Amino acid sequence: MFRIVWNKKDVKRGIQSGTGEAGPIGFLTPIQVYANSVDISGLEEVPKGNNTHFDGLFLEFFHIFHSIDPENLQEDNFHHISSVKNRVDGGSFNLYIYYNEERDSLTLKYHNFVHPEYRILEIDLRDFVDGVLHSSIEILEEVLQLAPELREDDNYIALKEDMEVIRDWYQERYGTTASSPPIEMKPAATVTDDSIRWIGAEDAADEEMIDCVQKILDITYPDDYLACVRKHSMGFPYPYNIIVNEKIPGGRNQFVRLSGFDPEKLNILFLYYSLNCPVQGSRAYLPDNVIPFADALNHDLICFDYREGFPPKVVHWVFYEMDPEKSIQFLCNSFTELFDIMERCE
């Protein structure tokens, strides 16, 4: 097993800032590399270790295949030409790769800030290629989702073309495509950030109850929310759960837990109908078509706002705000985006 991991929030900030030395995807950010579950980069033990040039690292991984099969992968196929054929410089780590033809495997010799002495492990070549392709396809999709205009960017094109050279080589060598999806495939958005864990989640939300709530409220839940609540109903996200927004009283609040669907417990329908009617002089109320899906501190709620149609926006509802117009504050455009404005709970 081989994989390259990055923090999605850091990538989003890097792309949107456009301050990379080599264009909008040439910024510096910590990147972790795992081989057979071993953290080659050392960032698992020292999370704030050295940064790596984001696109440069992938280009070096692509060019490493020239040292593995120089006859079929000529240097002029690649945009990046390394002075050391079999080395990847990851900022916090150095990795040398040697091909074992008899076993069709690779010997990986590496060291990092945590372990300055060189260490060695072995991995199947096919697993290595599959991991590089999977990670590169994932980042190319992520770049387009964050900034579709980068499709025409020279750095994006270089990454895509080099990746396609490796993908074609893989298919010719093994007679099959890698297990990763094609670049242009865009699956339904889901909260997949590996840095978020869901604590205290009950059994998966009952599909029949989810359908029932949608019919009663005459709404359709977004796919990214459904993918999450089906697995993490009543769960608490950790360690990223502090919602930051200047319009929220105090500028921040905490995502406490996902609301549930169990009719025998405090559930979404009960919350909506108990707060959906105005009570003179008491507090703000939930307007029609503003549907709660999570609790926040101080009895506040995080809701889907369907008042302008589908897909719904995500808003923050302030329990103690007397003015209905001020009780609802816009947070973001989707459930997935909500996690991009969350900070780590220290």
What is the C-alpha separation between 43 and 287, in angstroms, rounded?
A: 46
- For 36-74, the pLDDT digits (tens) are 888 898 887 766 566 788 888 888 998 899 889 988 888
Specify the pLDDT at position 85. Answer: 80
pLDDT for residue 11:
83
Question: Please, which pLDDT band fits residue 204 given cuts at 50, 70 and 90?
Answer: low
Indicate whether 316 pLDDT > 80.
yes
Work out the burial of residue 89: count CB atoms within 10 Å of its CB; fewer than 13 is exposed, 13-18 middle, 19 or more buried.
Answer: middle
Q: What is the pLDDT of residue 275?
A: 84
Nearest to 217, CA basis, from 306, 277, 325, 294: 306
Do 166 and 129 touch, CB atoms closer than 8 A? yes
Rounded to two decimals, the pTM is 0.53
Per-residue pLDDT band for 305 (boundaries 50, 70, 90) equals very high
Q: Residue range 313-323: average pLDDT?
A: 88
What's the pLDDT tens digit per position in 221-267?
Answer: 999 999 888 888 888 888 888 888 888 888 889 898 899 888 777 78
**Confidence (pLDDT) at 236:** 85
Which residue has tokens 């093994």? 174
Average pLDDT over the chain reads 83
What's the confidence (pLDDT) of residue 320? 82
User: What is the structure's pLDDT at 147?
Assistant: 86
d(CA 298, CA 319) in angstroms, rounded, equals: 7
CA 290 to chain centre: 27
Q: Quick count: other Cβ atoms within 10 Å of Cβ 83?
A: 5
| Cα-Cα-Cα-Cα dihedral sign, residues 262, 268, 269, 275 | positive
Handedness of CA 18, 22, 23, 28 (dihedral sign): negative
pLDDT at residue 5, rounded to an integer: 86
Q: With contact defined as beta carbons under 8 Å apart, do 32 and 44 qualify? A: yes
Q: How far apart are CA 256 and CA 273, in angstroms?
A: 21
More confident residue, 253 or 346: 253
- What is the tens place of the pLDDT at every residue in 148-203? 888 888 888 989 999 999 999 998 888 766 554 433 333 333 344 456 788 777 65
Task: Look at residues 137, 139, 162, 152 and name the one whose alpha carbon lies nearest to residue 79.
Answer: 162
